[in-house]
Amino acid sequence: MKRYIFVRQLIRDRGVRLTAQRELVLRRALAHLHFTAEQLVEDVRRVDPSVARASVYRALALLHELGVVEKHDFHYGAPNYEVTEGKAHHDHLMCTQCGEIIEFQEPRVERLQAEIVKRYGYQLLSHTHKLYGLCPACQRTQKPHSAKPPALHVTEMVS
């Protein structure tokens, strides 16, 4: 709820209108951990079917510009989005079979990244760091993995 209020303010501060559609997209995005754009479209339209697909994409792009949402390309299936606003920085570990995603933090890696870019005189802007593997359960039951995104888990209901 705190994040919700905060992001609404961010939207206003950016000078664009805080419309019902943008609020709805924000609320539904906050209700998930990792989601694809199309999952979000469906989810939003389940609440209000009159919202256009393009509006969801536009709102998502706005949230991305505001630094509220990040885009992750886990290689297996469509890109995922995540509301990272207010969350500590983390990287991801994904099971290529069942699609489970684990968020982890490793400050030692982050320090090495800074050191690496210094070698080349670069100014570091962002990074992606994703580990792919088999979770303990899938290590036993070996099957060819599906390219489908894992089912959406609703993790939180925001008002």
Residues that bind DNA (CB under 7 A): 16-22, 36-38, 50-55, 57-59, 61, 78-79
Q: Which residues make Cβ contacts (< 8 Å) with residue 22, sequence separation at least 6?
A: 11, 16, 59, 62
> What is the smallest separation between the CB atom of 107 and its own copies, expressed in angstroms?
10
**Which residue from 132, 101, 104 is spatially nearest to 35, judged by alpha carbons?**
101
- Please give the Cα distance from 38 to 97 (Å, whole number): 21
Element (H, E) at 19: none
CB nearer to Zn ion: pick between 100 and 103:
103
**Which residue from 6, 103, 105 is spatially nearest to 63, judged by alpha carbons?**
6
The site string for its own copies over 64-93 (x = CB under 8 A, - otherwise) reads: -------x-x-x-----------------x
CB nearer to its own copies: pick between 2 and 115:
115
Q: Are 6 and 33 in contact (CB under 8 A)?
A: no
Give yes or no for residue 147 binding its own copies (CB under 8 A).
no
Which stretch in 4-12, 23-31, 60-68, 103-111 sits in contact with Zn ion by CB under 5 A? 103-111
**Which residue from 61, 154, 29, 153 is spatially nearest to 100, judged by alpha carbons?**
153
The site string for its own copies over 30-69 (x = CB under 8 A, - otherwise) reads: ----------------------------------------
